[in-house]
A and B are shown apart, each in its own frame.
Chain A
Amino acid sequence: MFDYIWLIPFFPLLGSVINGLFGKRFLKSEALIGGIATAAIGASFLVSCTYFFRLLGLGPEDKVHEVVVASWMSVGQLQIDWGFLLDPLSALMIMVVTGVGSLIHLYSIGYMHGEEGFYRFFSYLNLFCFAMLMLVLGNNALVMFIGWEGVGLCSYLLIGYYFHKKSAGDAAKKAFVVNRVGDFGFLVGLGILFWTLGSHGVWTVNFVEISKNAHLLGTGSAVVTLVTLCFFLGATGKSAQIPLYTWLPDAMEGPTPVSALIHAATMVTAGVYMIGRMNILFAMAPSTMMVVAIVGAATAIFAASIGFAQNDIKRVLAYSTVSQLGFMFLAMGVGAFTAGIFHLMTHAFFKACLFLGSGSVIHGMHHALHHAHLHDDPQDMRNMGGIGKKMKVTYWTFLISTIAIAGIPFFSGFFSKDEILWWAFGSTRGHWALWLVATCAAMMTAFYMFRCVAMTFWGESKTHPKAKDHIHESPWVITLPLVVLAFLAAVGGFVGVPAVLGGSNRIHLYFEPVFGHAQEIFNISAHGSKSTELGLMVFSVLVAATGISIAVYMYVKNPTLPAKFTARFAGLHRAVFNKWYVDEIYDALIVNPCKRLGTFCWKGFDVKVVDGVVNGTGKLVNACSRALRFTQSGYVQNYAMTMTIGALVILAFYVFR
């Protein structure tokens, strides 16, 4: 029934190969290259839609389907296949990845116009989509890991797209290395899981098999806690949580469509998806879930604080992403798996729209500044202002997405974020302190996002007078995806209207086959009265409104206030502006010692010991030969003497034997 599921990752792979191999010489037209890439991911989207709706139509017992294309490794009892798993979780993920991916591919045709490496961009972007789809569709941990590593690689390739710039190359390396630390966690976790299950006689890495046999590990045991912690380490790397989030703000060096696709909608959600996929294991480890929730909440508030003081529009959005991912992990940590994935989806919509919108603004600013031969930074919000009047579509779509992220009813972010907050408060694995931290983070989100809108789109233009009249709206290939995403950001939440507001919470029912089992066995649910839930909802709306009004007051009504604040709290501002010096701390504690170790291995060991031994052998041979040289004197009589002595020695041996 789902036999052609392999086409979903295959189409982008094909597109990547065609553009990669033939793009430079043979496919000279931008439209052709972009067209091939967009058509590839578009085709994946069509297949994904077909299968999504087909899956919806099946009965509740019939929601998990595995399609094995070929056998990969078959060793004794262990069977690892090139297999794909279609269930409600992966079906939603492929819709998000291919849907948002198609829009971003279309957008990129306009955005990357004129770039020299045009074909290279689309080849990498398609390759990324292939890897991400393998990640979410894989039916076993190894196929998932192929995708896991693949998205890390493509992230490196795309962040370092402008490889002539040193900062881009550095950012790409940083992303890859920090990701790698997480990947190590993933592998260690997988290894321990495999070995422990194997010691009970179950040799498998297949997800369905793991879920069926997870009980063998023992609920709450040290093993399952260790395994899930290791997997969570992998998630922190891929999804930019404390302590491995430092790569994401630097990743803004890549082109904006890359930031939208990889660092907002898809790659960074891989960690959340992974926890969703392995929900049984996590449900069995309450300690790990508490760690996940705490890290998620801490990251949410920590990243939000840094967003307060950033001036680069993409940096604000980057820290916002880290913060929202914190919310998703908070959800997964308190057992609100549905809410976490729901927020993943709504976040994909509004964050992609925000990033693409910022790209449209940067595009417009860049053209205007270029036209006026100025070198101001087109990404600095202090050079913007009043753009709302000049780029109407961009402005309205950006505003809609900002309202969604702030959690204003009834936009998508409201439903998903409130679900998370409710579960943080009322779940059997939640805690009111987590709710409090998350609510603070929500208020901060509303504040800094509206600060961003105010500085960019409202008020008077702070752009250089020569340039500001040349700012105009972007072409349709850029604005159409914005409109579609803004629409989804506005209405996408209605699949999850909670019961307390009179809705049927369809998304919860949708995920029942995936998460229901774990939540039932381990009694993970949000309990509390309806009035509490409504009360919390109202409170969070008030909190968001407060954040927005403060932002409006500080940036529209009384624009001198921010400068006064900065002057009054100079130390705090400096700390927040410099990202709480985390990068500097990591440099001092980890990066520089590693560099010193590497330098020692190079100069102290490789040069002195290894080269020393090799060169020393040569010198030894040299010295021996210098000594033995003297036997070759050239005098025949010396040679005759040697022969005579030799003969005498042999003779003596026989005489005296």
Chain B
Amino acid sequence: MHAALPVHNFLVLSAILFAIGTFGVLTRRNAIVIFMCIELMLNAVNLTFIALSHHLGNLDGQVFVFFVMTVAAAEAAVGLALMIAFFRNRESIEVDEINMLKW
């Protein structure tokens, strides 16, 4: 067998992707972009699961990835539906404008 890449590489890549995704969620104004960043975070987590699954020789991690993907899909659907409803009221999907539940 040829030598596999060390696990660290995958974990660091995953961390960087997660950080980028978090930064995007916290900073961007456009709701669609925020959803894309959330997807990025979820995929980073998926990468972690798979890398560790291969490293530990245990298939549990890969099975869990399926769950994560399912949840990601469902959540994207619901989120986009929410945004459509919001757009119908406000003509905009800037999250800055979603601020009525305050004191």
Contact = CB atoms under 8 A, between A and B. Distances in A.
B38 to A, nearest CB: 10
Interface residues of A, number: 10
A571 interface: no
Contacts of B103: 629, 632
Interface stretch (B45-53, B62-70, B93-101): B93-101
B30 to A, nearest CB: 12
Contact of B98 (A632, A636, A641, A644): A636
B92 interface: no
Nearest to B96: A635
B99 A633 contact: yes
A637 B25 contact: yes
A637 B34 CA distance: 10
Interface in B9-44: 22, 25-27
Contacts of B98: 634-636
A634 B101 CA distance: 5
Contacts of A1: none
B8 interface: no
Contacts of B25: 637, 640
Contacts of B100: 634
A641 B102 contact: no
Contacts of A640: 25-26
B99 A634 contact: yes
Of A633, A637, A640, most B-chain CB atoms within 10 Å: A637
Interface in B54-103: 95-96, 98-103
B18 to A, nearest CB: 11
B16 to A, nearest CB: 16
Contacts of B95: 635-637
Interface in A612-644: 629, 632-637, 640-641, 644
A346 to B, nearest CB: 85
Place the interface of chain B in its size category. Answer: 10 to 19
A634 B99 CA distance: 4
A41 B95 CA distance: 91
Interface string A207-220: 00000000000000
Contact of B99 (A629, A635, A641, A644): A635
A185 B98 CA distance: 77
A634 B96 CA distance: 9
Nearest to A636: B95
A629 B22 CA distance: 26
Contacts of B101: 632, 634
A447 B92 CA distance: 110
A420 to B, nearest CB: 86
Of A629, A632, A635, A641, most B-chain CB atoms within 10 Å: A635
Contact of B102 (A633, A637, A644): A633
A634 B103 CA distance: 8
Contacts of B26: 637, 640-641, 644
Nearest to A641: B26
Nearest to B25: A640
Nearest to A645: B26
B102 A634 contact: yes
Contacts of A629: 103
A637 B98 CA distance: 10
Contacts of A636: 95, 98
A322 to B, nearest CB: 73
A317 B75 CA distance: 100
A588 B71 CA distance: 87
A634 B27 CA distance: 15
B63 to A, nearest CB: 25
A627 to B, nearest CB: 12
A632 B96 CA distance: 14
Contacts of B102: 632-634
A388 B66 CA distance: 123
A644 B102 CA distance: 20
A636 B22 CA distance: 13
A632 B99 CA distance: 10
B22 A644 contact: yes
Contacts of B96: 635
A640 B25 CA distance: 8
A2 B27 CA distance: 101
A637 B100 CA distance: 14
Contacts of B22: 644
Given A636-B95, A644-B22, A644-B26, 4 more contacts: A632-B102, A634-B99, A635-B99, A637-B95
18 contacts: A632-B102, A632-B103, A633-B99, A634-B99, A634-B101, A634-B102, A635-B95, A635-B96, A635-B99, A636-B95, A636-B98, A637-B25, A637-B26, A637-B95, A640-B26, A641-B26, A644-B22, A644-B26
For the complex of A and B, 5 pairs with smallest distance between CB atoms: A634-B102, A634-B99, A629-B103, A634-B101, A632-B103
